[in-house]
Structure 1
Amino acid sequence: MPTAVITGASAGLGEEFARQLAGRGADLVLVARSAAPLERLAAELRDEHGVAVDVITADLVVADDLQRIVDRIADPEHPIDLLVNNAGFGLPLHFADNDIDDEVRHLRIHVEAPMRLMHAALRSMRGRGGRIINVASVAGFISRSTYSACKQWLISFSRWANAEYAADGVTVTALCPGFTHTTFHERMGLAPGHEGIPAIGWLNAPDVVREGLRDAARGKAVSVPSLRYKVVVALTKVLPAPLTARAARRGRV
C-alpha cells in the first residue's frame, strides 16, 4: 500500500486529505500539534478502512519537532509515496500591527517547514517516484502581506520542482484553493461571515481535496479548484496589482 505523510492533519483540509486517502487504501502518517484529535481520527480511519495510521504530535515551528518529521520521511526502511504539506495558520492583523515573533513563526510554518520536508521527500523519492502536494492558496497570486508572499514562494517553488524532478518520477503540485469551509478563519479569531465573502465564493473541503489529488495524479504543477477561482487567477494576470490588492483586503484565503 502507498504511504502518505500529511501535516496539519487534525482538522480542515488536512483531515479531509486523510479521509480521502484512507478511502483509497493508503497507509497514513498524520502530523499535527494536537494529539487528541489526531488519535480520534486515526482510530476512526483504521476501523473504517483497515489502513495503518501512525500519529506524530509535533509543532513544525519547533526545530526538534520538525526534525522528527524529516527523519520519518527520510527513513529508508519505511519509504513514503506522498507528502502533503498542509500545516499552517493565518494572522489576524496587518503586518505592522502583528507581533514580529508571530510573523517569524508564520514564515517558518509556511516556508521553512515545507522546504525542509520537501527536501527530505525528494531525496527519498528520486528514482522510485512519488508525489508532493503543497497546500498554497489563491492568495499566492495576489499581493497581500506575508501570507500571500509565503504562498507565492510555495507556488513558484512547486512549479520549478515539478519540472526539475519529473525525470525522477516525482510530481510537485501547489494546491491553490480560494475561501474554503474549514476552521482556518475561526483559528484566526474571525467570526463566521466576518470576511464579507458571499456564499458563492466559498468552496467545500471534499471538493478541494478531490480536485487536488486528481491534478497531482495528472502531474500538474498548479491546481486551482473550481472554475470561479480559475477565473479569479486569470484576472490577477491582467488587472493592476493595486486593484487586486484592494479587493484582497475583504478577506483571507
Structure 2
Amino acid sequence: MLAEERMAIILEIINEQKAVKLSQLCEMLDASISTVRRDINSLADMGKIVKVHGGAMALDDNFSFIEHNVEEKLALFTEEKIAIAKYAASLIEYGDFVYIDAGTTTEKMIDFIPQKDVSFVTNGFTHAKKLAQRGFKVYIPGGEVKFVTEAIIGAECVMTLKSYNFTKCFIGANGISVSAGFSTPDVREARVKTAAIDGSRKAYVLSDHSKFDKITSATFIPLNRATIITDKLLDKKYTEYTSVKEVL
C-alpha cells in the first residue's frame, strides 16, 4: 500500500472515530508501529489531525494546548471547586491511605478533611505542607518539580507511586470527553495520574463543569476508570460511561 493511500485511510478512520490509538491503527492497517507513527506525524504536520500521546485525534474546536498556572486557576469557579472539594473530603474514612493529586480543587479538599487516622501521599508540595500543618501523616514522592502546576512529576515519581496501594485517590483533570477520556496537557503529569489510579482501590476525578467536552494533549485514563465529582453535569451522556456525582 502506498503511503498516500495509507494516510488517506488513517485520516478517514480518525475523522470517523474522533480519537484512535496507535495500536488500533496498526491492527486495522496491518502495518508496523514505526510506519503508522510516521504517517501520523506527516498528517499532523499537514494540520489534518492532532497527534496525542499514544495515538491521534480529529481536529476539534474543544482541543486545548493551554495550561494555566495555579494563580490563574484559583480565580476560576471558586464556589464550584469548594463544593466539589467538600464532598470529596467527606468520602475519606478512618484508616484510609489516600493519594491527593496536585491541583487547585484537590488542594481545597484539605480544609474539609475530618480529623481521622488517615495517611496521605501527594505530588503537590503545597498540598503536603497543608496536610502536615493539619497534623496528618503525609509522604511526598521524589521527582522533578513543575513550577506551573506546583507538582512533582517524572519517572522517579511514577516509580514511587507504583509501590503504593491506595484505598482512594483524588485526581484533577484539564479535559473530560467521551472520545478521549480524562486528559491533561502534560504527558509527564498524565503518567503520574495513571500510576496513582492504577494503585488505588477507588478513583475519583474532581472537575467543575467547564472541563467537560474538552480535550488536552495526554489521556491518562478512560472514563470508566473513575467516578466524577462535579458541580453540575450539563450533558447527561457522561452517565452512560461512568458514575457522576453532582454537588450543586
Which of the pair is proportionally richer in helix? 1
TM range (shorter): 0.3 to 0.5
Higher Cα radius of gyration:
2
